[in-house]
């Protein structure tokens, strides 16, 4: 069975994706046509969450991967219907062409011939093999190492053939070197940095890629300038000679710049209140393109104590369980106090759906067994039963001298801050004290192990963000809640289990799903894993969010997919 059969037939994707078809340019006067033609050579992008690094294997934020994807490429990716789309690969591996081993233990990729990096160096299978070595090197501490954990070896058979061997039979052979987490790095730029100095590589800021555009200047947190890559395999088909990506500002200003004033062509991640988006869109300069994929806005618990430190100064350490979130009754009380309907209806409108599922796509993996309730009275009763009462009449429950007081953090964004306020009001209603904290997105999603303010360090009790599976197979997404993925000082906080949840039952289900070749059994195991997380209130999904991008009426070729980044097909973007 080939990947298309797995993704399209086996997975039966049922997703709503906003894809723009070609449109006629607006009518202008003759004088304006000349001015427009002169400016049409530059594509202007606005990312209010500003990129700070251009190596996607070092950042937990989509903002950095989005900017990296303009110049770096994977072997292949998937469109919204689950069909494989080739980038560096010459053909889709299958049983028929011998690419996929009959026993599921390996996959062999044929690479396109004549590909060169943007500096003119030939691209070969050695680059793919090296990228694997770099990603999994514990001294490098990349954020994507978990995705490649099932790989035994990556071998460059010859310049245009690479063989990936798995530790066990792997039904999801297409998880690695595809899509968001599959971008290939140039060996000649990173070979000297394959160790603790990995973040010091100059190519982290000035990448050398095989993609359509190459970076000419980058000011982290501000502006990235790209030019058409003359060594790109289809350089003569690119519509723009220059791309400018401006970072900073806020989501509402970004929406206004593309929808109302028309100052930019594309604005990323418009997490803006639905009523505001509707008003801005009425100006007629652009439209909001939405993609209901796998993105879930969620609140996660810290299962470790952020207020205790080990002898070497590590906070949120597995040595110290959280003083009250280790109790499932307290977590369930918080769950019952989350008003998902109000959050969704007031803040997201048609760009969100309330959910209690951790896994929301593709449809065969979505559980029908879960539900949510907003019931503050039941939440209060659970806290009473767990022994949390307000013994000193200060308005906050306490137990054994411990106040039921939490720090709730997220990134700076008006929708998120308003969500925080709704949650704070509900939690304080049941006697949980809440201190709100907001962190600039460029810091929060940076993945910088030196910063205490990142998603990975989680120096708070609750935190909120959105993510989802970036592949039609959700194996690596669910892996983020396994014990081995716990982010901690020992792995330089590179693990993807920020909650530091550890349940041997969940791990056993994941190991079973990773090894079974039976599609129906695999679906059932993924649903069991989702249900276990929800029933234990290990994570609190709130809203199934649509990816919302602002697109100028004059820009065509945008084709969003849940399984890659918004810029994945930027080579096809154009103005008529």
State residue 30's pLDDT score. Answer: 34
- Residues 219-241, mean pLDDT to the nearest whole number: 97
Cα–Cα nearest to 355, from 343, 340, 334, 373: 340
3-state secondary structure 378-409: HHHHHHHHCCCECCCCCCCCEECCEECEEEEE
State residue 576's pLDDT score. Answer: 83
- Residues 136-155, mean pLDDT to the nearest whole number: 95
Q: Does residue 72 sit within a domain?
A: yes
For 497-523, letters b (16+ CB in 10 Å) and e give: bbbbbbbeebbebbeebbbbeeeeebb
Cα–Cα nearest to 161, from 121, 116, 106, 112: 112
- Residues 221-249, mean pLDDT to the nearest whole number: 96
Confidence of residue 264 (pLDDT cuts 50, 70, 90): very high
Residue 46 has pLDDT above 50, yes or no: yes
Q: Is beta strand 296-301 parallel, antiparallel or unpaired with respect to 42-47? A: unpaired
For 322-340, letters b (16+ CB in 10 Å) and e give: bbbbebebbbbbbbbbbbb
Residue 44 has pLDDT above 50, yes or no: yes
Q: Does residue 279 sit within a domain?
A: yes
Cα–Cα distance, 168 to 1 (Å, whole number): 18
State residue 446's pLDDT score. Answer: 87
Mutual orientation of helices 519-535 and 504-515 as an angle, nearest 10°? 160
CATH number for the domain harbouring residue 447: 3.10.105.10
Distance of CA 13 to the CA centre of its chain: 19
- For CA atoms 219, 223, 229, 230, the dihedral sign is negative
Which two three-digit tokens encode residue 194?
Answer: 């394959």
Residue 176 has pLDDT above 60, yes or no: yes
- Residues 191-207, mean pLDDT to the nearest whole number: 97
Q: Does residue 525 sit within a domain?
A: no
The number of domains in the chain is 2
Residue 26 has pLDDT above 80, yes or no: no
- Residues 537-556, mean pLDDT to the nearest whole number: 96
Q: Does residue 436 sit within a domain?
A: yes
Cα–Cα distance, 383 to 372 (Å, whole number): 18
Distance of CA 320 to the CA centre of its chain: 29
State residue 14's pLDDT score. Answer: 32
Residue 319 has pLDDT above 50, yes or no: yes
Cα–Cα distance, 219 to 538 (Å, whole number): 39
Please write the tens of the pLDDT for every residue from 412-446: 999 999 999 999 999 999 999 999 999 998 899 98
Cα–Cα nearest to 562, from 575, 573, 547, 576: 547
Cα dihedral: 266, 269, 273, 279 (round 10): 10
Residue 208 has pLDDT above 80, yes or no: yes
- Residues 294-317, mean pLDDT to the nearest whole number: 97
Q: Share the mean pLDDT of the chain.
A: 92
State residue 39's pLDDT score. Answer: 58
Q: Collect contacts of 401-404 with beta carbons under 8 A, ≥24 apart.
A: 402/323, 402/324, 403/433, 404/324, 404/330, 404/431, 404/432, 404/433
Q: In terms of domains, do 230 and 100 share one?
A: yes
User: What DSSP assignment string belongs to 499-554?
Assistant: T----HHHHHHHHHHHH---HHHHHHHHHHHHHHHHHTTSEEEEEEEPEEEEEETT
CATH number for the domain harbouring residue 45: 3.40.190.10
- Residues 341-357, mean pLDDT to the nearest whole number: 95
Confidence of residue 397 (pLDDT cuts 50, 70, 90): very high
Q: Is beta strand 213-218 parallel, antiparallel or unpaired with respect to 223-228? A: antiparallel
Please write the tens of the pLDDT for every residue from 82-105: 999 999 999 999 999 999 999 999
Confidence of residue 15 (pLDDT cuts 50, 70, 90): very low
- Where do runs of H (alpha helix) occur along 463-518? 475-478, 504-515
State residue 436's pLDDT score. Answer: 98
Q: In terms of domains, do 418 and 274 share one?
A: no
> Other C-beta atoms within 10 Å of 372: how many?
19
Confidence of residue 19 (pLDDT cuts 50, 70, 90): very low
Residue 508 has pLDDT above 90, yes or no: yes
- DSSP label at 326? T
pTM: 0.86
Cα–Cα distance, 576 to 574 (Å, whole number): 6
Range of the domain at 71: 3-15+39-293+547-572
Residue 164 has pLDDT above 70, yes or no: yes
Which two three-digit tokens encode residue 268?
Answer: 């990323």
Q: Does residue 511 sit within a domain?
A: no
State residue 199's pLDDT score. Answer: 95
State residue 16's pLDDT score. Answer: 31
Q: Does residue 286 sit within a domain?
A: yes
Residue 347 has pLDDT above 60, yes or no: yes
Cα–Cα nearest to 170, from 510, 517, 473, 509: 517
Classify burial at 222, counting beta carbons within 10 Å of its beta carbon; exposed 0-12, middle 13-18, buried 19 or more: middle
Question: Which stretch of 22-31, 297-306, 442-451, 524-533 has the lowest confidence by average pLDDT?
Answer: 22-31
Cα–Cα distance, 35 to 388 (Å, whole number): 68
Q: Does residue 477 sit within a domain?
A: no
Q: Does residue 121 sit within a domain?
A: yes
Q: In terms of domains, do 448 and 341 share one?
A: yes
State residue 169's pLDDT score. Answer: 92
Cα–Cα distance, 281 to 287 (Å, whole number): 6
C-alpha angle 198/202/206, rounded to 5°? 125
Q: In terms of domains, do 120 and 238 share one?
A: yes
Q: In terms of domains, do 287 and 322 share one?
A: no
Q: In terms of domains, do 329 and 278 share one?
A: no
Which two three-digit tokens encode residue 259?
Answer: 């929808």
Q: In terms of domains, do 286 and 332 share one?
A: no
Q: In terms of domains, do 378 and 459 share one?
A: yes
> Other C-beta atoms within 10 Å of 92: how many?
20
Residue 465 has φ and ψ, to the nearest 5°, of -165, 180
Residue 182 has pLDDT above 80, yes or no: yes
Q: In terms of domains, do 256 and 201 share one?
A: yes
- Look up tokens 């505001």; give the residue: 276
Q: In terms of domains, do 135 and 217 share one?
A: yes
Which two three-digit tokens encode residue 360?
Answer: 């929301």
Cα–Cα nearest to 78, from 560, 558, 547, 513: 560
Classify burial at 402, counting beta carbons within 10 Å of its beta carbon; exposed 0-12, middle 13-18, buried 19 or more: exposed
Q: In terms of domains, do 101 and 158 share one?
A: yes
Q: In terms of domains, do 370 and 269 share one?
A: no
Residue 18 has pLDDT above 70, yes or no: no
């Amino acid at each position: 069975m080939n990947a298309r059969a797995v993704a399209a037939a086996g997975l039966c994707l049922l997703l709503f994706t906003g894809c723009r078809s070609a449109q006629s340019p607006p009518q202008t006067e003759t004088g304006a046509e000349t001015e427009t033609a002169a400016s049409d050579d530059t594509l202007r992008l606005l990312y209010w969450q500003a990129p700070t690094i251009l190596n996607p294997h070092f950042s937990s934020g989509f903002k950095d991967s989005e900017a990296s994807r303009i110049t770096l490429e994977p072997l292949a990716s998937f469109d919204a219907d689950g069909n494989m789309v080739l980038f560096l690969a010459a053909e889709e591996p299958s049983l028929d062409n011998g690419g996929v081993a009959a026993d599921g233990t390996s996959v062999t990729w044929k690479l396109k011939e004549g590909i060169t990096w943007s500096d003119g160096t030939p691209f070969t299978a050695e680059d793919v093999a090296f990228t694997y070595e770099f990603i999994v090197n514990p001294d490098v501490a990349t954020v994507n190492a978990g995705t490649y954990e099932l790989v035994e070896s990556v071998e460059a058979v010859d310049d245009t053939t690479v063989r990936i061997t798995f530790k066990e039979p792997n039904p999801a052979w297409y998880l690695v070197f595809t899509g968001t987490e599959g971008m290939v790095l140039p060996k000649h730029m990173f070979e000297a940095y394959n160790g603790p100095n990995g973040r010091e590589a100059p190519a982290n800021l000035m990448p050398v890629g095989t993609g359509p555009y190459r970076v000419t200047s980058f000011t982290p947190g501000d502006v990235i300038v790209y030019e058409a890559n003359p060594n790109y395999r289809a350089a003569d088909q690119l519509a723009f000679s220059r791309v400018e990506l401006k970072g900073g500002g806020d989501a509402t200003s970004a929406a206004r710049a593309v929808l109302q004033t028309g100052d930019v062509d594309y604005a990323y991640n418009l997490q803006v209140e639905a009523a505001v988006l509707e008003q801005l869109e009425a100006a007629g300069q652009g439209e909001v393109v939405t993609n209901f994929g796998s993105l879930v806005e969620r609140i996660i618990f810290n299962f470790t104590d952020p207020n205790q430190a080990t002898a070497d100064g590590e906070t949120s350490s597995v040595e110290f369980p959280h003083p009250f979130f280790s109790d499932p009754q307290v977590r369930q009380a918080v769950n019952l106090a989350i008003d998902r309907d109000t959050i969704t209806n007031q803040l997201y409108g048609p760009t969100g759906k309330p959910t209690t599922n951790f896994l929301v796509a593709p449809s065969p993996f979505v559980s029908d067994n879960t539900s949510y309730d907003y019931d503050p009275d039941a939440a209060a009763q659970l806290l009473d039963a767990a022994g949390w009462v307000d013994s000193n009449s200060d308005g906050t429950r306490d137990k054994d001298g411990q106040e039921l007081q939490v720090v709730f953090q997220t990134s700076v964004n008006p929708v998120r801050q308003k969500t925080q306020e709704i949650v704070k009001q509900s939690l304080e209603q049941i006697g949980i004290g809440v201190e709100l904290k907001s962190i600039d997105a460029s810091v929060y999603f940076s993945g910088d192990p030196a910063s205490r303010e990142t998603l990975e360090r989680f120096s708070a009790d609750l935190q909120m963000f959105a993510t989802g599976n970036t592949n039609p197979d959700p194996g690596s997404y669910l892996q983020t809640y396994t014990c081995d993925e716990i982010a901690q000082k020992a792995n330089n906080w590179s693990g993807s289990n920020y909650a530091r949840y550890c349940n041997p039952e969940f791990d056993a289900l994941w190991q079973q799903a990773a090894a079974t070749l039976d599609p129906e059994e695999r679906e059932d195991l993924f649903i069991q894993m989702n249900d276990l997380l929800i029933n234990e209130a290990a994570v609190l999904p709130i809203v199934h969010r649509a990816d919302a991008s602002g697109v100028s009426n004059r820009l065509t070729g945008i084709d969003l997919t849940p399984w890659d980044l918004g810029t994945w097909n930027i080579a096809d973007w154009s103005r008529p």
